[in-house]
Structure 1
Amino acid sequence: MKNQCSSKLKVHSLAILLLLSIVVYWVLFYFLLELFFSWLRVAIQPILLHVASALLGLALFAFVMAQVGKYMKPKRISYFQTIIQAIRQMAKGNFEINLDIPLPTDQKSRHNPFVQLVDSVHYMAKELGQLERVRQEFISNVSHEIQSPLTSIKGFARALENDRLPENKRMHYLNIIQKEADRLSKLSDNLMKLTALENTKHPIRLSNYRLDRQIRSCLLALEPQWTKKALDMTIELDPITIDADFDLMNQVWMNLIHNSIKFTPEHGKLQVELSIRDGRIMFCLSDTGIGIKKEDFVHLFERFYKADRSRTRRQEGNGLGLSIVKKIIEVHHGEIHVQSEYQKGTRVTILLNMSG
């Protein structure tokens, strides 16, 4: 009630002030015109004098109010105009913006809605710019990964057109084309799976099963690879039951164990452990492989990242494996930690809850 009375009083006061201003301008012009016509010694009807002074007074009042309005124009309007221009620039794809708006920097003013609005626009531009850079890098990496096998397929397909090509070379070229086609198919499948996991659209089908048996099955499936390298395998798997997505977790173990075998030299060592620690399931995989350089750690789980680019033709892979592993562990509310020393080995630790 008090606020309403105060608002009405302000409106009435403003109306009276404006009315007085008009009257002052009217009276002022009335005397000025009277003096002017007296100086010219011209007789003029009083009614005309009143009309002329009223019109001139209103015109002067309007001009003064317009000038005062420009001078007293709220800064908020200019703030909004600047912000609107910045948003339009972002809509066109330009995220390198800087709102040149003088704002208070003291702690109390940080709660000012305009300060918060400007900060939010800056933050949005920064995040959208980062997202755009990631998108462009992703497209570039996908193009590179696709172009490589396509070039091989195209080249060997042309070579097969030679009628004089020996049968053994023909079969060799066909085998390469098949491997490159499989590589493209695997890349497409991994991209779709990673996208689904990142968008949380991948259906998680939880089931209760023995985790130790699943890991043992993966080790048996990869036995030809680690026996070929004569690796010294140490396997310690406690009987543990878990609620998780069997297929997704199977991909985790296959990927990690396959990587350890692939990057461990002949007669190296692999140690696989599964146990309960502090009420959580702990999986540890240690090897005496080539390890990871310190500068590569920050990129370890990035899509398409390969620590040693020189091995990309000799060692199969598209750099998506660890990204998928990390996403699968995250959707199961688990953790993955990697410790490594270059040329000495790597240790991967995964922590999972007993019930998904």
Structure 2
Amino acid sequence: MKRLRFVLKSILTVIAVMSIVSLFWTAAYFITEALYTQFAWRPHPLVRQIISSILGFLLFGMTMSAISPFLRKREKVFWQHLIDAINRIAKGDFRVNLQADWGGRNHPFAELVTRINDMAANLQAMEEMRQEFISNVSHEIGSPLTSIRGFARALKNEDLSREQRLHYLDIIETECVRLSKLSENLLRLAMLDSDHYPFHPTSYRLDTQLQTLILHCEPQWAEKELNMCVLFEKVIITADEDLLSQVWLNLIHNAIKFTPKGGTITIQLQRRGEQAIVTVSDTGPGINEHDQLRIFERFYKADKSRHRAAGGSGLGLSIAKKIVDIHHGIISVQSQPGEGATFTVELPVHGPVS
């Protein structure tokens, strides 16, 4: 289709050029004939042809010379706007939206403008993400530091009882652990983003891994008297076992965290063709549709069910998604407010090799 458009455009260009040239040569012919009649001169046909050709060239050249300043001025304005836009982008101002009308969307200048506008839009989106990321990191770090500073100052009070001191020290220790986990998660995300994270896929029983991790989490779900429903098929998968364990632990911990006392958590594993399907369902408060669209973003927390009081930094699901992406898989969520949430992970049985 593109080739056909190119051929048609070339043909139309040739026709247009020939028409313009013919127009000037026709004008030159009638001018010379008028001069011959005026001066009663009848030159040889060859001389007539040469004179008409020369006059046609002169008319064409003078017309182009008269028009070219306007064309050059238009191009000069275009290039000046382009340079200004590039300078703004270089200085960090990505709110650029160039306008150009150069004979249709297929014109090279129009395509150049479109590419620059797209680049500026992408850079603006990245800058907004960077600023939001920095703001979130500052907030996540600032909150526990404020608590640590406040309770450390309170410990200077010599009138505190032993129980109060221990209570304050427990809070300081909890906030330090929170900072440590945040630092570890940020470092893990940075390494995953840089593609330098060690990736060692092996063949192993996925159902055995899930059973082991559920047993490790038994103190947490047993303390809340949760019903743990497990439905596993025997599935052998080729993947990085250590990386995937972070995915499963994150989903299990979230399910435990947001399921009320006496609720139910259901974890299923089955194989569909060449895909291993893992679902983790809870009977918690659920997630509304708006939050589901952003639940895997870094530092994002749903306003109601995933609030700060429940703990966490909002990085766990981001890390889980990154690890699933590395394995060429898909992670998704389905939920209705008040009806719990179901996280589904689809992984190829024969995953990528290192």
The answer, yes or no, to whether TM exceeds 0.5 is: yes
- Report the equivalent of 1:338: 333
CA distance in structure 2 between the aligned counterparts of 1:172 and 1:340, rounded to whole angstroms:
38
Match of 1:293 among 268, 288, 291: 288
Q: Deviations over 1:182-213 (max 9, x none)?
A: 11111111111112222323221112221111
CA distance in structure 2 between the aligned counterparts of 1:111 and 1:102, rounded to whole angstroms:
11
Match of 2:116 among 121, 125, 128: 121
Letter in 2 for 1:223: E
Identity %: 48
Q: Is residue 188 of structure 1 aligned with residue 187 of structure 2? A: no
Letter in 1 for 2:132: E
Q: Deviations over 1:249-295 (max 9, x none)?
A: 01111000110111111111111111111221111111211110122
Q: Is residue 275 of structure 1 aligned with residue 270 of structure 2? A: yes
Q: Deviations over 1:93-144 (max 9, x none)?
A: 111123243333xxxx322211110000111111111111111111111111
Q: Is residue 176 of structure 1 aligned with residue 175 of structure 2? A: no
CA distance in structure 2 between the aligned counterparts of 1:146 and 1:354, rounded to whole angstroms:
39
Q: Is residue 150 of structure 1 aligned with residue 145 of structure 2? A: yes
CA distance in structure 1 between the aligned counterparts of 2:140 and 2:109, rounded to whole angstroms:
46
CA distance in structure 2 between the aligned counterparts of 1:307 and 1:72, rounded to whole angstroms:
56
Letter in 2 for 1:164: D
CA distance in structure 2 between the aligned counterparts of 1:178 and 1:164, rounded to whole angstroms:
21
CA distance in structure 1 between the aligned counterparts of 2:245 and 2:196, rounded to whole angstroms:
19
1:314 is paired with a residue of what secondary structure? helix
- Report the equivalent of 1:350: 345
Instruction: Show the 5 A alignment for 1:17-32.
Output: none
- Report the equivalent of 2:154: 159
Match of 1:202 among 194, 197, 200: 197
Alpha-carbon distance, 1:76 to partner: 3.2
Relative to structure 1, the CA distance from residue 69 to residue 337 in structure 2 (aligned partners, 3 Å threshold; closer, same or farther) is closer
Q: Deviations over 1:306-340 (max 9, x none)?
A: 11369745322000111111111000001112111
Letter in 2 for 1:161: K
Relative to structure 1, the CA distance from residue 72 to residue 272 in structure 2 (aligned partners, 3 Å threshold; closer, same or farther) is closer
Q: Is residue 233 of structure 1 aligned with residue 232 of structure 2? A: no
CA distance in structure 2 between the aligned counterparts of 1:72 and 1:220, rounded to whole angstroms:
77
- Report the equivalent of 2:80: 81
Letter in 1 for 2:178: R
Q: Which runs of 5+ in 1 are unaligned?
A: 1-64
Q: Is residue 217 of structure 1 aligned with residue 212 of structure 2? A: yes
- Report the equivalent of 2:239: 244
Larger Rg: 1
Q: Which runs of 5+ in 2 are unaligned?
A: 1-63
CA distance in structure 2 between the aligned counterparts of 1:126 and 1:312, rounded to whole angstroms:
31
Letter in 1 for 2:329: G
- Report the equivalent of 1:99: 98
TM-score normalised by L of structure 2: 0.77
Moved more, 175-184 or 311-320: 311-320
Computed over aligned residues only, the root mean square deviation of the Cα atoms, in angstroms, reads 2.1
Q: Once superposed, which parts of structure 1, at least 4 consecutive aligned residues long, lie more than 4 Å away?
A: 65-69, 309-313
Aligned length: 289
CA distance in structure 2 between the aligned counterparts of 1:330 and 1:220, rounded to whole angstroms:
26
Letter in 2 for 1:73: R
Letter in 2 for 1:84: I
The 8 Å contact of residues 101 and 110 in structure 2, kept in 1 or not, is answered as no
CA distance in structure 1 between the aligned counterparts of 2:313 and 2:202, rounded to whole angstroms:
30
- Report the equivalent of 1:23: none
- Report the equivalent of 1:90: 89
Relative to structure 1, the CA distance from residue 283 to residue 68 in structure 2 (aligned partners, 3 Å threshold; closer, same or farther) is closer
CA distance in structure 2 between the aligned counterparts of 1:138 and 1:94, rounded to whole angstroms:
19
The 8 Å contact of residues 291 and 302 in structure 2, kept in 1 or not, is answered as yes
CA distance in structure 1 between the aligned counterparts of 2:191 and 2:158, rounded to whole angstroms:
46
1:235 is paired with a residue of what secondary structure? strand
- Report the equivalent of 1:266: 261
Instruction: Show the 5 A alignment for 1:10-89.
Output: 70-73=69-72, 75-89=74-88
Alpha-carbon distance, 1:68 to partner: 7.2
The 8 Å contact of residues 201 and 238 in structure 2, kept in 1 or not, is answered as yes
